[in-house]
Amino acid sequence: MVETKFKVDKIRKDFPILNREVNGKPLVYLDNAATSQTPQQVIDVIVDYYQNYNANIHRGVHSLSQEATDAYEAARIKIQKHYNIANTYEVILTSGTTHSINLVANGFTSFVKEGDEILVSAMEHHSNIVPWQMLCERTGAILKVIPMNQNGELVMEAFHELLSDKTKMVFCNHVSNALGTINPIEEIIEASHKVGAAVLVDGAQAAPHIKADMQDLDVDFYTVSAHKICGPTGVGMLYGKEEWLNKLPPYQGGGEMIAEVTFEKTTYADLPHKFEAGTPNICGGIAFGAALDYMNSIGFGAIAQYEEELLKYATEQLLAIDGLKIYGTAKNKTSVISFNVERIHPYDIGSILDKLGIAVRTGHHCAQPIMDFYQIPGTVRASFSFYNTKEEVDVLVEGVKRARNMLL
Amino acid sequence: MTIEKIQEEIVDEFSMFDDWMQRYEYMIELGKSLPLIDEQYKTDDNIIKGCQSKVWVHAELDNDKLVFTADSDAIITKGIIAILIRAFSNQKPQAIIDANTGFIDEIGLKEHLSPTRANGLVSMVKQLKLYAIAYQTQLN
């Protein structure tokens, strides 16, 4: 039994989508690691923006533009405070984690030369692998992989051995999307800095579970996507230390990122606008701020405690099913359960669960190297949020049992 | 039996089931009875592109008729290819080329599959027809 004072019934009322049916059954939404649902409080902010002050920002002289600019910049401050970032201008608003990583990887071309080394953890998703592979192709740098063990934990001894004065950059996710593992980023950041390497932490999967403190972590870059944390899609954050952001060249040209343009030469705007070319996702940025307000009104401590109880309960119930194996059994993990049942293909289980109204993710979760590591085609991934319930776990368990009986 | 007649049979069979769970169960049964591809033909060349799960299809002429065998690592996908093979196997290549595939819509297969699987289904039909075109060219 989940014993908690967490008022999940009250919280669920904030999410209108949770009342709908799928395939004639009440929706059980367990694909939160892919995208979280949006509470009414955030939806209202989006509607209010388009109904009342939709305008382009920063350069408009009219009142609507000023209102939109104020709201957008207020959201930046909310993000700054949420992540305890020293300066507002170290918050770059991007389209999301993939954009943020590409921005840094592209900029690092100037700082990496042939023979330099870049370390990547074995449990990255493609967005935190491919941009760095492209960087290596451009520069002749070498990509080295920090291995993981069967539990889905990084082998830290191997990491320390891989580090050297050739290491220019280390990148790692805070939480693995496919396994739920919380990585020891504090140790990674500290050790990397000792050899002079910069560190980028992909915080996309950590965002809904962990309130990361940028100054405390002393990380060089950190990325977040708003849609993982009750916000809209198409907007996210790149945190960068001021010294790095000043050194990195602009990623895209045009719009707000210029100071002065002539056909002879262009000078660039100051931070953060240097990296914010074109019209941004204004409404998205404002709603991102509202999503953080919403999450903070519930409290990350309470969320973490409740999700831990849910994870424990779900793990116990699922492991009671014959032949079910969980991939990713790290001691320190978030509420993600990646599993397979005997020799059944994950797509088959996912298809049956869908007919029962249960939304889970199946496949390689854009993290094929992890699946190669376990030598499996993919997994079924149930990822829980603070608005999920023990009863929904029960529906999932019954659904997996039914699928197993049908498919074996 | 003609392709049209077999397709009518399949449509009739699926219309007997009240809901999609029963249809899935039937598809799974069909998957288990699929004429399996010889292991030597389970090569990358024989994998149908567009399917998230793996599907291998092999075709060979038996006199003037084309015989399909297949396999998949996912049983529901196996059921889907089993339905298609039942409709198109042991037929002359030209008949396969000319065949209408409207029965897929009639049994509601596409709309009840996830978009990725529906794309896979389209790829499977296309591949069977491509085999037929290739063998028809040989026969000509």
**Contacting residues of A for B21, CB less than 8 Å apart:** 352, 355
pLDDT given at position A1? 47
- CB under 8 Å to A405, separation ≥6 — which residues? none
pLDDT the model gives residue B51 = 62
Quick one: average pLDDT of B5-25?
89
Question: A351 CB near a chain B CB, below 8 Å?
Answer: yes
Nearest-CA distance from B137 to chain A in Å? 37
Say whether pLDDT at B135 is over 60. Answer: yes
* pLDDT in single tens digits along all 408 residues of chain A: 444 578 999 999 999 999 999 999 999 999 999 999 999 999 999 999 999 999 999 888 899 999 999 999 999 999 999 999 999 999 999 999 999 999 999 999 999 999 999 999 999 888 888 999 999 999 999 999 999 999 999 999 999 999 999 999 999 999 999 999 999 999 999 999 999 999 999 999 999 999 999 999 999 999 999 999 999 999 999 999 999 999 999 888 777 777 878 888 888 888 999 999 889 999 999 999 999 999 999 999 999 999 999 999 999 999 999 999 999 999 999 999 999 999 899 999 999 999 999 999 998 877 788 888 999 889 999 999 999 999 999 999 999 999 999 998
Question: Does the beta-carbon distance from A347 to B77 stay under 8 Å?
Answer: yes
Å between A161 CA and nearest CA of chain B = 38
Burial of B82 (C-beta count, 10 Å sphere; 0-12/13-18/19+): buried
- For tokens 């943020």, name the residue: A100
Q: In one letter, which amino acid is A145?
A: V
User: What whole-number distance in Å separates Cα of residue B125 and Cα of residue B88?
Assistant: 9
CB A334 within 8 A of CB A228: no
Per-residue pLDDT at A4: 52
Residues 362-381, chain A, touching B (beta carbon < 8 A): 363, 377
Question: How confident is the model at residue A255, as a pLDDT?
Answer: 73
* Nearest by Cα to B27 from B41, B14, B43, B40: B14
Nearest to A345 among B25, B53, B113 (CB): B53
Q: What is the dihedral of CA A20, A23, A26, A29, to 10 degrees?
A: -80
Distance CA A363, CA A381 (A): 8
Cβ contacts (< 8 Å) between A401 and chain B: which residues? none
| CB-CB contact of A44 with A24 (8 Å) | no
Lookup result for tokens 């009240």: B18
Strand pairing partners for A237? A93, A224
Residues of A in contact with B20 (CB under 8 A): 23, 355
Nearest chain B Cα distance for residue A407, angstroms: 7
CB B28 within 8 A of CB B75: yes
CA–CA distance, A396 with A271 (Å, rounded to integer): 47
**Residue B20 host element (H or E):** helix B20-32
Q: What is the pLDDT of residues B113-132, one digit of tens each?
A: 666 666 777 788 888 999 99
| pLDDT at position A267 | 82
DSSP A252: S
Q: At A242, which amino acid appears?
A: E
Q: B75 and A348 in contact (C-beta within 8 Å)?
A: yes
Structure tokens at A212: 């990361």
Q: Pick the residue from chain A with its C-alpha nearest to B73.
A: A345
Contact check, Cβ <8 Å, B77/A354:
no
> Chain B contacts of A407, Cβ < 8 Å?
28, 75
CB contacts of B80 in chain A (<8 Å) are none
**Which band of pLDDT confidence, cut at 50, 70 and 90, is reported for residue B21?**
confident
Q: Between chains, do A345 and B73 touch, taking CB under 8 Å as contact?
A: yes
Tell me how close the Cα of B19 comes to any Cα of chain A, in angstroms: 10
Identify the contact set of chain B against chain A, taking CB-CB distances under 8 A.
20-21, 24-25, 28, 52-54, 73-77, 113-114, 117
Query: Whole-model pTM?
Result: 0.91
DSSP A183: P
Q: What is the pLDDT of residues B51-106, one digit of tens each?
A: 668 889 999 998 899 999 999 988 988 998 999 999 999 999 999 999 988 888 88
- Please give the Cα distance from A158 to A77 (Å, whole number): 39
Q: Known catalytic residues of B?
A: 51
